[in-house]
Structure 1
Amino acid sequence: MKRFSFSYLLPLVFFISIAVIPVAAQDKLRIICFGAHPDDAELKAGGVAAMWAAKGHEVKLVSVTNGDIGHWNEAGGPLARRRKAEVEKAAKIFGSTVEVLDIHDGELLPTLENRRLITRLIREWKADIVMSHRPNDYHPDHRYTWMLIQDAAFMVAVPNFSPDIPPLKSYPVFLFYSDRFTKPIPFQADIVVSIDSVMDKKLAGLMELESQFYEGGALGSADLVPKESAGQQARRD
């Protein structure tokens, strides 16, 4: 795989799918996908995660916060544990691994401590490709996730920054997820690839995230959840 310096990369889109052909061991890629909450990487990169995993590549999804306020009726430790269990189920469907960091939802900041944390995660995974949000976003956790990735992008190869983890010998490719924000700069895709071949698998993974896509997440309400069992099943379907 051709390597590019992160400073020359432009935002890329992730509607990605390629024919599922096993790859030789020496050609395997290691991909790490960051999202601010336990649903973001799954929603933005679940299809490409499933596709790459099926091809034999190693894929990891990371939630930078624990999602503990991302529900209209639940919060705190119980919600964080529930959402962690949800993304673990989704990861099994995608064929990826998953990690949820213990940072409170809504409280992420681009601190030096968090920069070191993100740098270590990228190094430990020995990433060839790193994915994240763009800076243009309504949610501060999304914006600060981008900032932490941006700040780590150079530091992953600097030996004396967090020297307890060996630096990468070459820079990964850093990529942005697609979005619909238009200011200050609209998203412009440089690469678009269909995920038709893995769409069913992506949707199956997302359906495991019931707190978000069935119950509506932070902006949901009891009105979204039918009271009778038949209606509940129909909403899931």
Structure 2
Amino acid sequence: MKIDILAFGAHPDDVELGCGGTIAKLISEGKKCVIVDLTKGEMGTRGTDETRRIEAGNSAKILGVSARENLGMKDGFLVNSEEYQLMIVKMIRKYQPEIVLANAIDDRHPDHAKGAKLVSDACFLSGLRKIETSENGENQEVWRPKHIFNYIQWKNIKPEFVIDISEHLDKKIEACMAFKTQFYDPNSKEPETPITSKDFYESLTYRAQDLGRLSGVAYAEGFTTEKLIAMKNFEGIIL
């Protein structure tokens, strides 16, 4: 399957929180997007790997992605190993995305920055012809994405560009809240965590609103980029 956007998250719900609005927007414009979760999120305080799997599937349906996969890496102990790199290389070659979205380059959870570097290195390795991978007994074609963009998570990293998600914030929040065990639920009897508070739930709106205020739109999501972006012209810039 040749797609446009391949979004990686260290944990189920990372993609929704960091760039769910952007994915919803791109899909509404006819782009094909796939989500790949590196771990099952089994170390999370609330829920189980099974509830996370079900919630991830529900969220994927809300966003309308073409597919969602989980690589089953060890939650809390991501390492930039050859084994993990090759698992990601196989995903990149399978879907052949033009753009890869990945975790924040620096964040509260150590898996996020580790996941960002792991995906970045795999994107480079995926373009090397002497690294051979196969799927279902057939050799995969080498493929290197044109761009890697990192979304922003817990920390307020200064974005290098933002995407206007003004018409898609509601779908982003709906996709996030599909992870019922993870976020604000006043009736839950499970332990509180930094992301289960009402304030965190409200931050989904006010953080997007703040980036929108700074960029002249209602709501936005921010990204950093590994390389300098060249534009063909000024079309598409919101003035």
Give the alignment's TM-score, normalised by structure 2: 0.70
Q: Could you tell me how far apart the structure 2 residues matched to 1:176 and 1:56 are? A: 22
Contact map agreement 1:33 1:132 (CA 8 A) in 2: yes
Relative contact order higher in (CA < 8 Å, ≥ 6 apart): 1
Q: Which residue of 2 aligns with 1:69?
A: 43
2:61 to 76, 79, 92: 92
Contact map agreement 1:132 1:177 (CA 8 A) in 2: yes
Structure 2 unaligned residues grouped into runs of 5+: 135-139, 198-239
Q: Could you tell me how far apart the structure 1 residues matched to 2:37 and 2:23 are? A: 14
Matched positions, count:
185
- Equivalent residue letter for 2:45: H
Cα pair distance change 1:200/1:85, threshold 3 Å: same
- Equivalent residue letter for 1:220: E
Aligned-residue offset at 1:155? 1.0
- Equivalent residue letter for 1:83: R
Q: Which residue of 1 aligns with 2:167?
A: 197
Runs of 4+ aligned residues of structure 1 deviating over 4 Å after TM superposition are: none
Percent identity over the alignment is 30
Aligned-residue offset at 1:89? 0.5
Structure 1 unaligned residues grouped into runs of 5+: 1-27, 226-237
Q: Which residue of 2 aligns with 1:174?
A: 148
Contact map agreement 2:105 2:117 (CA 8 A) in 1: yes
Alignment of 1:1-237 (within 5 A): 30-72=4-46, 74=47, 79-96=48-65, 97-164=67-134, 165-168=140-143, 171-179=145-153, 181=155, 187-214=157-184, 220=192
Q: Secondary structure at the match of 2:73?
A: coil
Aligned-residue offset at 1:29? 5.5
Q: Could you tell me how far apart the structure 2 residues matched to 1:90 and 1:181 are? A: 23
Greater helix proportion: 1
Q: Secondary structure at the match of 1:192?
A: strand
